[in-house]
Amino acid sequence: MKTITLGSSGIACEAVGLGTWAMGGWMWGGHDDRGAIEAIRASLDAGVRLIDTAPAYGLGHAERMVGEALQGRRHEAVIATKCGLVWNTRRGTHFFDEEGQPVHRYLGRESIFAEVEESLVRLRTDHIDLYITHWQDATTPVAETMDALLALKRQGKIRAIGVSNVDAPTLRAYLRHGPVDAIQERYSLLDREIEAELVPLCRAHGVAVLGYSSLAMGLLAGPIDPARRFTGDDQRAANPRFSPANRAALQAFFSELAPLRESLGCSFSQLLIAWTFSHGAVDVALCGARNPGQAIDNAAAGRLSLSDAQRAVIDAARVRHLLGLG
């Protein structure tokens, strides 16, 4: 599997990483703890090292699952987790409510110091490989946030610094105060906004690009049964991208790609994940999984190489069928 290095940190990982948002349960229609733990271990077995999580995924639940799954195998994993979404303070700005708790965006120095200690306990580790500001906080100067992150790096509690959900001016502000090893942004065949400014800026400064929602919350994993219903708090139930009309467009899209998929001997999800990192915009495609089968299928995409001609087939099918889903 192709490997990359996270900025100047020296930390290596594969082109496919495991995302754990759905493992937290919130906004995904519940959770299966045993399936989550097995998915994490199956990812390691399949050669995936980067495990991406966050405190906000189930108010610490996903981090606890990662910590349990990595018992005895911590040395095999690159753990990425985040800070800046907090539910123990009213400082910063209110972002959303989760499980009845108001969650705020806040990246103040003392708050980051407290968050990292809580994450270390949940993850059952003495260090975090990549520590990422989850969402940006307009009430705290970037200089203060970076000062806290650099202090944690000097203390050995984190090894690398990342930022997520940023625009180009905000990333430039971070870079003025210290090295940033990675950004994490939404990126898929349907979501390519970062190509315009953020990706060129990262290339110029040696910042790795991690793309989350590589399969657009499962929309690009393969044809969706028109009869399927998303229930409970599953965010896809109200997402217009999952409308009956869009599902029909996806059926046509996948039908057009079927010959290419068959010639490569891969699944549709593997094909679209491979497009993501082989297209050149991102270094790592983060893919969610809730059971070992999904994790193993996603990992196999890291061994799939696409030619320019094969990427062109996918791009052409996107233009014909999916532009309305953007």
Residue reference for tokens 């696409």: 306
Amino acid occupying residue 278? S
Amino acid occupying residue 11? I
Which of the 8 DSSP states describes residue 223?
P
Q: What share of the chain is helix, strand, coil (3-state, %, to 5)?
A: 45, 20, 35
Contacts (Cβ under 8 Å, ≥6 apart) of 108: 91, 92, 137, 140, 144, 145, 148
Catalytic residue among 57, 106, 131, 187: 57
* Torsion 64-295-230-324 (CA) sign: positive
Tokens in use for 107?
């990246």
Indicate if 212 belongs to the active site.
Answer: no
Q: 145: closest CA among 125, 164, 127?
A: 164
Are 147 and 177 within 8 A, CB to CB?
A: yes
Catalytic residues: 57
